[in-house]
Structure 1
């Protein structure tokens, strides 16, 4: 194992065992390197790597801290990779959405909070047939983000949010070129929300699967 990898694992172990936690400041470099039995150079490289993936926050002149370790931070690295996609790989992103979002709708139907449900209802009813394509896509993102948040699973919500935004271009393209895209999307959103509202997890899953798959199928044909 490379020395830097060993240093990363040792810092990870410090976090997992509770020796340091979210928001804590790491000991000074010399003290930490001696504590871990590592050279200061290998420790420095490990800190740089963990800073990139948002586990550590290096504050010049102040010290190095453990971040909040919130899902949205830890998934930023994946979001960066997804940013590099091309038109073909966006199909793979849709395939991931097809797995995650129906599961999220199903979970939301089991756990939905009345306050979140009311907010989602406001999101859906705030859009009509006169909405332009950009407005529709913005609504679509907000709707799916709301369902993900309704699951109560912060990691799932952050994961869905991090990949959903990267399919915007395909959604806009479909909205411009396909007839009745606005009406169909709104109808599907209403149906999904109704299923969640009555707590029918299987129906919410099936309707969301059809909804996401429709865009994926269209994109495959277009490409």
Structure 2
């Protein structure tokens, strides 16, 4: 194991064991290096790596702290990683969305509030086929974001947010090249929301599956 990897594992072990708690400040560098049997250089490299993963927060002039370790914060790294996807991987991202988004829609049908439904209705009513592609795509992204938020599951919200970015270009491309894509998307969004509002989890799951599968099929046909 590389020295830096060993340092990362030792700090991770302290956090997992509870020796370091969320929000707690790490001991001074020299003291921590001695306690862990590490060189100060390897400790610094480990701290840098863990700060990039939002596990540690380095505050200049103050010290290094364990972050809140909340799932949304830790999963921000996923959004950074998926930005490096290749175009030929978009179908793989869509396949994962087809697993998670219908589950989110079903969960939302069981937990959505009247206020959330009203906000989603307002969002759908604010766009139409005559609007520009940029506005429609922004509304599409926001619709899916709010459906996932209605689940109350922050881990699922963060995962879906990270998976949404790689498929945005495909959505734009479809909107520009398929004549009926925009009307179909709006109709499918309405069907999903109707099922969610009715508390029909299985209908919400089914319509969400259809929605993602239609984009998948279109993309497969043009690649």
TM-score by length of 1: 0.93
Superposed CA RMSD in Å reads 1.6
Gaps of 5+ in 1: none
Aligned partner of 2:33 in structure 1 is 33
The more displaced of 124-133 and 102-111 is 124-133
8 Å CA contact 2:100, 2:160 repeated in 1? yes
Shift of 1:126: 1.7
Q: Following superposition, which runs of at least 4 residues in structure 1 exceed 3 angstroms of deviation? A: none
Q: For 1:148 and 1:36, how far apart are their aligned partners in 2?
A: 42
Shift of 1:28: 0.7
Q: For 2:24 and 2:134, how far apart are their aligned partners in 1?
A: 42
Shift of 1:14: 2.4
Q: For 1:36 and 1:113, how far apart are their aligned partners in 2?
A: 49
Shift of 1:154: 0.5
Aligned partner of 1:137 in structure 2 is 137
After superposition, give the CA deviation of every residue in 1:52-76 in whole Å (9 maximum; x if it has no partner): 2111121222211122323333223
1:27-176 matched pairs, under 5 angstroms = 27-176=27-176
The 3-state SS of whatever aligns with 2:97 is: helix
Shift of 1:151: 0.9
* Length, aligned pairs only: 223
The more displaced of 114-123 and 193-202 is 114-123
After superposition, give the CA deviation of every residue in 1:61-115 in whole Å (9 maximum; x if it has no partner): 2211122323333223222221112221111111111111111111111122222
The 3-state SS of whatever aligns with 2:179 is: coil
Shift of 1:6: 3.0
Gaps of 5+ in 2: none
TM-score by length of 2: 0.93
Aligned partner of 1:203 in structure 2 is 203
